[in-house]
Amino acid sequence: MSGVQGSGVGPAVDEHAEKIDAYASARNSQIAGALRAFARRRSALVGLAVLLLIIAFTVITPFLWKYSYSDITVDFSAAPGWRHPFGTDSIGHDLFAQTLRGIATSLKVATLVALLSTVVGTVVGAVAGYFGRAWDAVLMRVADLIMTIPVLAITLVLANVLGAKGSSWFLLSLVLSAVLWIPLSRLVRGTLLSLMKNDYIDAARMLGASDRRIIIRHLLPNAAGPIIVDATLMVGRAIIVAASMEYLGLGIQAPEVSLGLLIQRGQGAATTQPWLFGFPALFLVLIILSVNFVGDGLRDALDPRRTV
Amino acid sequence: MLTFILKRIVNGIAVVIAASVLVFALVSLAGDPLASMLSSPGASPQTVAQYRQTLHLDDPIMVRYLSWVGGILHGDLGKSYSGQSVNSMIFSGLGTTLKMVIPAAVFGLVGAVFLGVVGALKRNTAVDHLISALSYALYAIPVFVLAILLKGYIAVPLNNAFGATVLYTIGDSTPGVPPSLSDQVRHAILPVFALAVYSMGPWSRYQRAAMIEVMSSEYIKVARAKGLGRARVVIVHGLRNALIPIVTIAGADFAVIVGGAVVTETVFGWQGMGRVLVDALTGPVSPDVYVVQGWIMVVAIFVVAVNILVDLMYGVLDPRVRR
């Protein structure tokens, strides 16, 4: 203790400050521990690096590369080479530019879906878990209902109902979020229900904390681990569903480019001109794999049972 | 047990009724499926009006819903806009799809249990790491990408090597040829494999976790201490208990497999349920209202039935829930 003895208020303030310090350092060591656990998993680090590289590449290259995704060049069905690293299709589109554009579209959709469905899922799940009764019953019935219809079928119908408007990446994200928030809300509800059995919740309530304060200050921070992990895995899920929709001809439409569309167009020539199918498919798989590795690393890092 | 099953059935019926409301709201209230037809120069207003009448698009919304549900209760899903019976479209599609989905679910489950158990028993060895890597890879490959790869890089070289069609890549049987088992199997191998592998990745992870948990429990130690053989302990005491979670997950994932089948069918040109749905959503008059609604209802009823069956299987696997 560094406080001057006998100065009256000194010790008390110091004690308090020390507590705050202890709390802050516990918190810091928690975060540091989580980071260390994440860094220990090589697959998670590699996944993160690959993902960041792909994102940087997709953002920067369009400014530097000589062709845009919509340019029609004079090279038809060219194999990959110096002029066209990923080759061209039969009307002369540069596949390198198109693949990058497709990656950008997929990542935009996936990020927005992860964001929207996490926010909605967390709010609804928290309300259902905390207040229970009618809220809970309604949420659980809706979740049961959605589980009985293939996600892909619902999103296909929604995309069709939106018609031509459904081909924008923004509306496609809304369509996917409309379904994908539900499993997350179930997870949040379950986590909250188990957290609410803790004594510190009763203590907070007895000290007069409002429902809102208990949810926001006490419950959600403790539920953050599973929520973050699920939000990460949601990115992979959203990319797969979106690509499947595009492959089936609903969702993002030409002239816009997406990985699912490129794969659909390239599949007929999968053996004769493998680059048309291969590059978009490779990046699709690479992104999903990286995201899942990151999600898994986070699961380990944020696991409360983790031994530091 | 009986009250439990009755409860599940009542709950299932409630879910199906809710699904009918949702689907109807989604498809019937969403807009005018004939709008695109009205704007095309080929269709006269009279034709469109006639379609409108035969599809009952002019009736009040409650009347439309009740007559649709009434039809379902009488086993009639209505007609497509081209006048085809939705029943016959969906049931012929269903027959084709089940030829893919059921073997895929069975092989997927068997494969996942095998991989999961081996991974758990050889925990943290090279074999376990290899299986883990495999299941991650499988989980990251969308089913249509895998299907295209199988088609282009397994079937085509194989057929070229033999100079004959060993594995078919289009359709579920050869048209015009009397149906034979070998013909069907040669059509089904690749799609069933693609779809089975699609769920094997995540399922094998669950199986591994469940098996590790069971094998570290006290009763396994007791069984070993009693002097029972390792094989007997693993299979009778371990596996039987470790199967309970995977059966639940596989049952809950049934809708996911049907979703995967929609895509797989498209790659392999099967005229199944997937085709019916995609055609009804991308055709000239879309959505083809009663086809889409009927499709979702039939799938929902199917999934609910599978989930009830899974609950029944619980009773077989886990005597504790029989009471």
Per-residue pLDDT of chain B (323 residues; tens, 9 = 90+): 678 788 888 888 888 898 898 888 888 766 666 666 666 666 677 777 777 776 677 777 788 888 888 888 888 888 888 888 899 999 899 989 999 999 999 999 999 999 999 999 988 899 999 998 888 888 889 999 999 998 888 888 888 888 777 778 787 777 777 777 788 888 888 999 999 998 888 899 889 988 988 888 888 888 888 888 888 888 888 888 888 888 888 887 888 898 999 999 999 989 999 999 999 888 777 788 889 999 999 999 988 888 888 877 777 777 776 55
| Closest Cα in chain A, distance from residue B229 (Å) | 34
Do A151 and B299 count as a contact with CB atoms less than 8 A apart?
Answer: no
Do A157 and B281 count as a contact with CB atoms less than 8 A apart?
Answer: yes
Range of the domain at A205: 19-71+87-301
Q: What's the Cα-to-Cα distance from B154 to each of A112, A272, A285, A308, B166, rounded to whole Å?
A: 37, 14, 19, 47, 11
CATH number reported for the structural domain that contains residue A168 in this entry: 1.10.3720.10
Can you tell me the distance from the alpha carbon of A209 to that of A216, in angstroms, rounded to the nearest whole number?
Answer: 11
Q: What is the mean pLDDT of residues A90-118?
A: 88
Contacts of B21 in chain A (CB under 8 A): none
pLDDT over threshold 90, residue A285: yes
Q: Is residue A51 part of a domain?
A: yes
Nearest to A42 by CA among B200, B133, B137: B133
Q: Is residue B73 part of a domain?
A: no
The pLDDT tens digits for A37-55 are 888 888 889 999 999 999 9
Query: What percentage of chain A reaches a pLDDT higher than 90?
Result: 17
Note the pLDDT of residue A3: 41
Do B144 and A250 count as a contact with CB atoms less than 8 A apart?
Answer: no
Q: Is residue A6 part of a domain?
A: no
Of A153, A281, A288, the CB nearest to B262: A153
State whether residue A270 sits within 8 Å of chain B by CB.
yes
Do B278 and A141 count as a contact with CB atoms less than 8 A apart?
Answer: no
Do B277 and A156 count as a contact with CB atoms less than 8 A apart?
Answer: yes
Q: What is the mean pLDDT of residues A215-228?
A: 86
Domains identified in chain A, total number: 1
Can you tell me the distance from the alpha carbon of B96 to that of B275, in angstroms, rounded to the nearest whole number?
Answer: 10
Lowest mean pLDDT among A104-113, A163-172, A249-258: A163-172
Q: Is residue B116 part of a domain?
A: yes
Note the pLDDT of residue B112: 93
Can you tell me the distance from the alpha carbon of B114 to that of B234, in angstroms, rounded to the nearest whole number?
Answer: 12
The pLDDT tens digits for A236-282 are 889 999 999 989 988 787 778 889 888 888 887 767 788 888 889 99
Do A285 and B142 count as a contact with CB atoms less than 8 A apart?
Answer: yes
ipTM of the complex: 0.85
Note the pLDDT of residue A254: 74
| Unique residue bearing structure tokens 């038809």 | A76
Q: Please count the residue pairs, one from chain A and one from chain B, whose beta carbons lie less than 8 angstroms apart.
A: 127
Is the pTM higher than 0.95? The answer reads: no
Mutant choice from A158, A160, A246 vs B, greatest count of B C-beta within 10 A: A160
What residues of chain A, 221 to 250, have a C-beta less than 8 Å from chain B?
236, 240, 243-244, 247-250
Domains identified in chain B, total number: 1
| Unique residue bearing structure tokens 């969702």 | A251
Range of the domain at B217: 87-281+285-322
Mutant choice from A106, A144, A149 vs B, greatest count of B C-beta within 10 A: A149
Q: Dihedrals φ, ψ of A4, to 5°?
A: -80, 120
Sequence-distant (≥ 6) Cβ neighbours of residue A6 within 8 angstroms: none
Angle of helix B289-317 versus helix B254-268 axis, rounded to 10: 130
Q: Is residue B48 part of a domain?
A: no
CATH number reported for the structural domain that contains residue B178 in this entry: 1.10.3720.10
Q: Is residue A67 part of a domain?
A: yes
Note the pLDDT of residue A9: 47
Of B30, B153, B255, the CB nearest to A148: B255
pLDDT band for A197, please (50, 70, 90 cuts): confident
Can you tell me the distance from the alpha carbon of A9 to that of A31, in angstroms, rounded to the nearest whole number?
Answer: 33
Q: Is residue B111 part of a domain?
A: yes
